[in-house]
Chains A and B, each alone.
Chain A
């Protein structure tokens, strides 16, 4: 690129820095939910995800053992025990006996509680509570402590959302919607595009004009009439109005103008000689299409497939109108939207679910980026 030769070192350093800044700005949001989805759910609310690699500190309350646990030793009564359950990796940094001063004493310090009573809480949670008089009462004394836990990463969140929050089922539903809603329009559009490009029949030019005209119709125009139509068909035949077939056809309808537009311009550009020599050899249109046109059109078919796949997988509007909200039909995007309402503050559920919904598009995107970019400029006319 021009200009680079005449640039100063500072200028070039600035370019690197600026790009780094933009890259950070664009990746940090996604990184946030990826890191959070792998964190322990108590840690997510205790500290920001960017501190995931450092220990997090929380102040908590606990109870000492009761009078029943006391033993007499050297004329003093002692209650000993551990604030933590066995196997915990947390460490106590400070403790206290009043909620106003929960961290008054350092861990390991012997606190003088007055009347000769002493309390010592160690880092590992073990404590000794001693008094010259015998302890009484059924409830143990309340203590406060500040515990730091080491960074903890877990796949538990994924197990939870996939198997008990219904995300796993929604994942299957999304695949059930997306695969046919990608393949069907390709098939239908490819045949139509071939006919419009290479077969002669009356009204061809008019049809092409109508299809390009339909590109400008926003999706919103179709929703209400189709909802009415589906409800009508459902009542008339006594079948459910929200079905997978219904949404496949809807996505097919919304994707078709763009698919035909894209495929036709590509197929029309294929060399005429190949078609004609095949025809002379006695091949029918069907054979020419299947054996010659389809293989040659692979790049454009792939571009459209990726485009449509991402569009359908990421779609919320069409799914909310044409599919039910029961477990057997709700797709990932709609499920995630529902979770935002019902599990608003449970970030371990939300971040993990969000990551599950974006993982498939990300894989598709990274493995097939070449075709995606190619389809993008042509695809720009479709929009959302």
Chain B
């Protein structure tokens, strides 16, 4: 154990230290090569100018290098790979795309993704909004919000274990230790293996993401609700509006922009959902989604990079328009403050 901790600390120190050493050392070197002090006036001005030309690139260099290697090159390569066969050697045109749209599993994934897209962002935003409005009215609202916000810190894998325990199934007649089956049998129903019921199992998986993300929606919407000018609501009260009218006709329209940001943010997350499906069902019982299917093809049978890349491209094509709109909208929202 001690040696493990030692080696862990050592690699951490090397990793972080190397990074610090670069920035410090590179700047020191620049000052040494083009000294601005201790030389004649003209030379010092020249050297300062040279430093000014080089230093920005010292600052930004590592970031550029990493962005090129880890994002720009991969995007181009993935696009290139999607037109090639499994090993990436032979050009096969659009064959991978043809395969994808003819593949039963792929179509099932698309269908499930659409289902997730239709349910999860709507449910999170709706629940988040309701909870935000309700908790704003009570003295222990902050504590309530903290507790509902808490699952956001939990990993998808951790959340999957938590919910798998809730969905746990024991044969009929045995004591149900999963709370869902315990409730169902307590009400006189039969226990089920919830996550293996085709089609409906999607919803049992979605519940996990909704459980995690509602807190996010709630916090963002709650701060937007606080930004609503009191006068508009007071005026509505004086005019005799009831709480529901105030909510739908006064509050919701004023935070429409924020609702849209929350909605699209969760939409993007849903398009990339992977961990929950992998850990709960690994795509069995017709619960496959695109991100998990892609991961599957990366390693299935030694890995089919062509098909994996094709699925990645399809995910990107779905994500980009929503993402662009989302960033524009978010900028507009924060720009207004």
Whether chain B is bound by chain A comes out as: yes
A317 interface contact, C-beta 8 A: yes
CB 8 Å contact bits of B312-337 with A (1 = contact, 0 = none): 11011001100110110010011000
A304 interface contact, C-beta 8 A: no
A209 interface contact, C-beta 8 A: no
Choose one: B64, B158, B160, B177; the contact of A48 (CB below 8 Å).
B177
**Bound CA span A284–B215, Å:** 44
**Bound CA span A310–B127, Å:** 24
Assess whether B70 is in contact with A48, with CB atoms less than 8 Å apart: no
B298 interface contact, C-beta 8 A: yes
Assess whether B165 is in contact with A33, with CB atoms less than 8 Å apart: yes
> In the complex, how many angstroms separate the beta carbon of A184 from the nearest chain B beta carbon?
5
CB 8 Å contact bits of B160-176 with A (1 = contact, 0 = none): 11111110100000011
Assess whether B220 is in contact with A376, with CB atoms less than 8 Å apart: yes
Interface range on chain A (Cβ under 8 Å from partner): 35 or more
Cβ–Cβ < 8 Å partners of B178 in chain A: 48
- Interface contact tally, CB-CB below 8 A: 345
CB-CB under 8 A for A215 and B327, given A192-B63, A340-B279: yes
A6 interface contact, C-beta 8 A: yes
Choose one: A48, A176, A314, A316; the contact of B11 (CB below 8 Å).
A176
Assess whether B327 is in contact with A381, with CB atoms less than 8 Å apart: yes
> In the complex, how many angstroms separate the beta carbon of B233 from the nearest chain A beta carbon?
4
Write the chain B residue with the least CB distance to A194: B59
Assess whether A48 is in contact with B66, with CB atoms less than 8 Å apart: no
Cβ–Cβ < 8 Å partners of B291 in chain A: 220, 317
* SS of A interface (majority): helix
A127 interface contact, C-beta 8 A: no
B42 interface contact, C-beta 8 A: no
Assess whether A15 is in contact with B138, with CB atoms less than 8 Å apart: yes
Interface segment, one of B19-27, B99-107, B198-206: B19-27
> In the complex, how many angstroms separate the beta carbon of A286 from the nearest chain B beta carbon?
4
**Bound CA span A50–B51, Å:** 68
Choose one: A168, A199, A347, A366; the contact of B1 (CB below 8 Å).
A168
Assess whether B330 is in contact with A381, with CB atoms less than 8 Å apart: yes
B154 interface contact, C-beta 8 A: yes
Assess whether A22 is in contact with B323, with CB atoms less than 8 Å apart: no
A36 interface contact, C-beta 8 A: yes
Interface segment, one of B90-98, B110-118, B265-273: B265-273
Assess whether A354 is in contact with B179, with CB atoms less than 8 Å apart: no
CB-CB under 8 A for A195 and B151, given A16-B138, A47-B177, A383-B265: no
B33 interface contact, C-beta 8 A: no
A240 interface contact, C-beta 8 A: no
Assess whether A224 is in contact with B59, with CB atoms less than 8 Å apart: no
**Bound CA span A340–B36, Å:** 62
Choose one: B5, B63, B164, B234; the contact of A2 (CB below 8 Å).
B234
The 18 listed contacts between A and B (C-beta, < 8 Å) are: A3-B233, A19-B144, A29-B165, A46-B175, A48-B177, A49-B177, A175-B12, A176-B11, A176-B12, A180-B12, A184-B19, A222-B75, A223-B298, A248-B15, A249-B70, A257-B71, A333-B157, A361-B155
8 tightest CB-CB pairs across the interface, nearest first? A253-B70, A314-B155, A192-B63, A180-B15, A225-B77, A2-B233, A365-B153, A195-B59
Chain B contact residues, CB within 8 Å of chain A: 1, 4-5, 8, 11-12, 15-16, 19-20, 23, 27, 31, 36, 51, 53, 55-57, 59-60, 62-64, 66-67, 69-75, 77-78, 81, 88, 127, 131, 134-138, 140-141, 144, 146-158, 160-166, 168, 175-179, 182, 211, 214-216, 219-220, 223, 230, 233-234, 236-237, 243, 246, 261-262, 265, 268-269, 271-275, 278-279, 291, 294-295, 298, 305, 308-309, 311-313, 315-316, 319-320, 323-324, 326-327, 330, 333-334
